């Protein structure tokens, strides 16, 4: 696991309706574990698979992030300061 300021996942199709013409990208502050584990609703972008234009962007309030504890070298859940909660990851 790398120390990340922000992380996310990308789907080469719209997984909700199997639309191959759209790419879905989701991201959050900290490690990707918060997205994969479902502890946050990530920011999301829908991108056209031909022109690569952003079709839709949703900024979600991000209340927590997984970060590495430098002492024990393990991830822990950290509260995100209010000034970062509604900014893009």
User: 17-48 pLDDT, tens per residue?
Assistant: 888 999 999 999 998 888 888 888 999 999 99
Is residue 59 in a domain?
Answer: yes
pLDDT of 1 higher than 70: no
Q: What is the largest CA-CA distance in the chain?
A: 45
Q: 76: domain CATH number?
A: 3.30.470.20
Structural domain including 79 reads: 6-85
User: What span, in angstroms and rounded, lies between the C-alpha atoms of 78 and 48?
Assistant: 34
Query: How many domains are there within the chain?
Result: 1
Is residue 14 in a domain?
Answer: yes
Is residue 78 in a domain?
Answer: yes
Is residue 1 in a domain?
Answer: no
> Quick check: pTM over 0.85?
no
Mean pLDDT to the nearest integer, 53-65: 94
Whole-number average pLDDT of the chain: 88
Task: Name the band, by pLDDT with cuts 50, 70 and 90, for residue 60.
Answer: very high
């Amino acid at each position: 696991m790398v120390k990340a300021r922000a992380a996310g996942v990308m789907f080469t199709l719209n997984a909700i309706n199997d639309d191959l013409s759209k790419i879905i990208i989701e991201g959050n502050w900290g490690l990707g574990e918060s997205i994969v584990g479902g502890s946050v609703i990530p920011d999301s972008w829908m991108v056209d698979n031909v022109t690569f234009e952003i079709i839709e962007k949703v900024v979600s309030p991000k209340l927590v992030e997984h970060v590495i504890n430098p002492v024990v070298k393990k991830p822990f859940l950290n509260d995100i300061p209010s000034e970062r909660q509604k900014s893009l990851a």
